[in-house]
Amino acid sequence: MISPRYLVICSLSFLAIAGTARVSAGETNPHLSLLTEQNPPYNFRDPKSDQIEGSAVEIVKELMRRANVDYSLTLMPTARAYRAAKETPNTCAFVINRTKTREATFKWVGPLIEGGWALYRRPGSSIVIHDLDDLKPYVVAGKLGSASVKSLERSAHIKVLATINDDLAAKMLYHGRADLWISGVSNAPAAARDIGVPPPELALLWKKADLSLACSRKTDPALIADLNRINQTLDDLRKKALAAYSQGLPPTP
């Protein structure tokens, strides 16, 4: 049986042949420093290969190739990546949820992936959530610094039990230290798989999310426009990458 990741690699090889350079002869785009976090299935360090992989990583690599952009790719904590992309020229972080409060902070390329936020409960839990007002009696866990946590705290007027990553938030839920867990619709199944527990049950599908490349305001606007144009041509690759990394995802270190 052909592995899904093999299909992604083949797709990238085909695109490398079919794609045409967007930069004229002699013209060079600036080097971009691309920063990402441990956030499977979108971006993560594979413990076997020690390489940075994920569905968003595949999309960003192809985006850079088609735009003829030289780049470096570094994995680091979310807060550091966000701060560096905000303050350092020609630096971008992904995948960052594009929200109204963040809109003016960066120049945006995306959406790379259309995600979403949801509230989850333990399998077999009797908790029923109809809207955010129903959250007040419960302890909700979530990843520190994520837009979903900040937005939920503002919208529901609650304090979320913040953890360093989704795996730990999932453990809080499954070990009974939290009643509910706020996470991404793709992140939650991956985190549950990583810690060796059954998938959580959906309590409330809250809202959709635009997961994008957030670049410093000091990045060339012409390059940003070119990247956005190219991103619109990557729908087929997007589907293949999302499908591949939703199957057989290696556990996080």
In the DSSP assignment, the letter for residue 41 is T
Q: What pLDDT score was predicted for residue 189? A: 84
Q: What pLDDT score was predicted for residue 5? A: 52
Burial class (CB in 10 A: 0-12, 13-18, 19+), 141: buried
Give the integer Cα–Cα distance in Å for 45 and 36.
10
> Which pTM does this prediction carry?
0.68
Give the integer Cα–Cα distance in Å for 48 and 17.
29
Q: What pLDDT score was predicted for residue 25? A: 40
Q: What pLDDT score was predicted for residue 28? A: 63
Q: What pLDDT score was predicted for residue 114? A: 87
The C-alpha angle 15, 24, 235, rounded to 5 degrees, equals: 30
Q: What pLDDT score was predicted for residue 14? A: 41
* Two domains, one topology: 4-20+30-114+210-245 and 116-208: yes
Give the integer Cα–Cα distance in Å for 13 and 144.
37
- CATH 3.40.50.720 assigned to domain 116-208? The reply is no
- Tell the CATH topology of 4-20+30-114+210-245: D-Maltodextrin-Binding Protein; domain 2 (3.40.190)
**Would you list the domain boundaries of the chain?**
4-20+30-114+210-245, 116-208
* Residues lower than pLDDT 70 in the chain: 1-28, 246-253
